[in-house]
Amino acid sequence: MDSRRLGYVVAWIVAATLAVAVGIAAVSTVGASIRGRGPLGNEVVRDVGRGERVPAPDPEASLVEDSVDGQHGSFVVGCRGVVAYGLAAEPAPGWSVVSYEQGPDDDVDAVFSSRGRSIDIEVFCNQGEPTVAEIERNTLPDD
């Protein structure tokens, strides 16, 4: 192999290694922000006694409402800044509401069930707008 080909091979290996390193760094950075799903930043008040984060609603922010609708029914969520409120959970015919979190919290969830199925909906506030974080559909075990 002549020196020119060897130079191309070395340059290709260096470029490939650099591309992989940049890709890993980008995925790690983006993944960390996605896992956090709506950081509360300076508006979080830490309760040292319980170790839980208690969100503090922005008194200047207006309440923005939206609903997550589907076969299960409707989960109405309100956001005041980064603080979420579960305002109502209304089941569709044949469905029931197992539970729903009223907040205030950094995210709220509702669980609907019907004939061996359940749907768990989690919503957080993204720049003051209700945003679905996750919808989990499960098949319940036979009792």
Tell me, yes or no, whether 100 lies in a domain.
yes
Instruction: State both tokens at 71.
Output: 């076969």
**Parent domain of 116:** 41-139
Strands (E), the chain: 44-47, 52-55, 63-70, 73-80, 83-91, 96-100, 107-114, 117-126, 129-139
104-140, pLDDT tens digit by residue?
A: 999 999 999 998 899 999 999 998 899 999 999 998 7
Asked, for residue 33, whether it belongs to a domain, the answer is no
Residue 28 domain-assigned?
A: no
The answer to the question of residue 24 being in a domain is no
Residue at 104 is within a domain: yes
In a domain, 133, yes or no: yes
13-65 pLDDT per residue, tens: 888 888 887 777 777 666 555 544 444 433 334 344 555 565 677 778 889 99
How many domains are contained in the chain? 1
